[in-house]
Structure formats: structure tokens, C-alpha cells
Amino acid sequence: MKHKKDWRFRIAHREAIIGCVLAMINFIWWFGFAYGLGSKPPEQYSYVLGFPAWIFYSLIVGTLVMFILVFIVVKFFLTEVPLDDDESSEESNEVNDQ
């Protein structure tokens, strides 16, 4: 018995890859600022709005950047896909028609 590959899997795989890329961007952003700016001795820290610069840029700005990126991805790149089975929806339509 051959199984026909469902077209929704291709969309789900693409969207999973987009989610993984977003997670990697978040981690790289956080790691770069946290360990890049935070590797100095605390006496040499610079401060932004009362926070050490590494915390401000890695956590606060990073969170805002990720909110914006996720909004853009959801708005323009993700697709709404019906989750009901094509065969079962055809059967239910036949039952409703009788």
C-alpha cells in the first residue's frame, strides 16, 4: 500500500526550519552580547538605563528584537493550514448531504 505524501508536511517542515532559525538567532544574539560585553571585570562595565550594557543589549533589546522578528515571521511567512483529514472531511460532507 503506497502512502501519498500530504502537502501539509512540506509547509510544516518549512515552518519548523523557520522556528529553528529564529531560536538560533536568539541564542547567537544573547550569547554575543552577554559574553562579548560581559566578559570584562564588573568595574569596567558600562551602563544603559541603570543596567549593565551586556544585560541591556542581550536581554532587554534582544527580547524586543525577537518580538519584532516573530511578529514579522507570523504575519508574512507562516501559512494557515487546515488540520482536518481530507478523506474524513469528504466522508463527513457525504454524511451531512444524506
- Give pLDDT tens digits along the chain (98 positions): 566 788 889 999 999 999 999 999 999 999 999 998 888 899 999 999 999 999 999 999 999 999 999 999 999 999 898 888 766 555 444 544 55
d(CA 78, CA 58): 27
H-run or E-run covering 33: helix 7-37
CB distance 23 to 29 below 8 Å? no
Listed in sequence order, the residues at least 6 apart from 77 whose beta carbon sits closer than 8 Å to its beta carbon are: 15, 18
For residue 54, the model assigns a pLDDT of 93
